[in-house]
Amino acid sequence: MTQALPAHTRRELEDTLRARYAQLREEVSRELLDQDQYDYSDVAGKVHDPGDESVADLISDLELAAIDRNVSEIRAIETALDHLADGTYGLCVDCGDTIAVERLKAYPTASRCIRCQERYEKDHGGAPPKL
Ligand SMILES: [Zn+2]
């Protein structure tokens, strides 16, 4: 089996991924817990302007968006760890070329080489994903 990366680099990136994974898991469970404990009716009760209940909605939306981002990153890390396990980590999912080590060190969840990533972003428009 061809490995895209030397063993020590793989090990290093795996450590980074696992540490980040643990951190994100903790953040998400804390955010979910916070949300549970937060009394939104309290916020709405302190302000008297009609329509202020939407403040609680907004807070809720913002927190959900943060959780959502974290969950996407958790998924990306799980994928990267799978690829580490099956030996395809560091290979571009589009062209099969090796992804530059510098890129992997900056974005350990990168699944495309820089060339394919740029093409992907052009095809799909919008902001470039950092992962
Ligand atoms: Zn590629």
Map residue 91 onto helix, strand or coil: strand
**Mean pLDDT throughout 60-82?**
92
How much distance in Å is there from the Cα of 70 to the middle of ligand 1?
Answer: 25
Instruction: Assess if residue 119 is contained within a domain.
Output: yes
How much distance in Å is there from the Cα of 120 to the middle of ligand 1?
Answer: 10
Cut 0.85: pTM above it: no
| 123 class by beta-carbon count within 10 Å (0-12 exposed, 13-18 middle, 19+ buried) | exposed
Percentage of residues in the chain with pLDDT exceeding 70? 79
Instruction: Assess if residue 65 is contained within a domain.
Output: yes
Average pLDDT of the chain to the nearest whole number:
85
**Mean pLDDT throughout 3-15?**
90
How much distance in Å is there from the Cα of 71 to the middle of ligand 1?
Answer: 25
Q: Which domain holds residue 22?
A: 7-124
| Per-residue model confidence (pLDDT) at position 10 | 94
**Mean pLDDT throughout 22-49?**
74
- Residue 8 scores a pLDDT above 60: yes
How much distance in Å is there from the Cα of 40 to the middle of ligand 1?
Answer: 47
- Residue 117 scores a pLDDT above 70: yes
How much distance in Å is there from the Cα of 131 to the middle of ligand 1?
Answer: 14
Instruction: Assess if residue 130 is contained within a domain.
Output: no
91: β partners: 98
Instruction: Assess if residue 2 is contained within a domain.
Output: no
| Per-residue model confidence (pLDDT) at position 25 | 95
Query: CATH number, domain at 14?
Result: 1.20.120.910
Instruction: Assess if residue 33 is contained within a domain.
Output: yes
Instruction: Assess if residue 129 is contained within a domain.
Output: no
Q: Measured on CA atoms in the order 74, 79, 82, 84, is the torsion positive or negative?
A: negative
How much distance in Å is there from the Cα of 7 to the middle of ligand 1?
Answer: 22
Q: How many domains does the chain have?
A: 1
- Residue 48 scores a pLDDT above 60: no
pLDDT band at 61 (very low <50, low <70, confident <90, very high): confident
Cα-flanking dihedrals φ and ψ of residue 91, to 5°?
-105, 135
How much distance in Å is there from the Cα of 95 to the middle of ligand 1?
Answer: 4
Instruction: Assess if residue 113 is contained within a domain.
Output: yes
Using an 8 Å Cβ cutoff, are 70 and 59 in contact? no
**Mean pLDDT throughout 80-87?**
95
How much distance in Å is there from the Cα of 99 to the middle of ligand 1?
Answer: 7
Instruction: Assess if residue 89 is contained within a domain.
Output: yes
How much distance in Å is there from the Cα of 39 to the middle of ligand 1?
Answer: 48
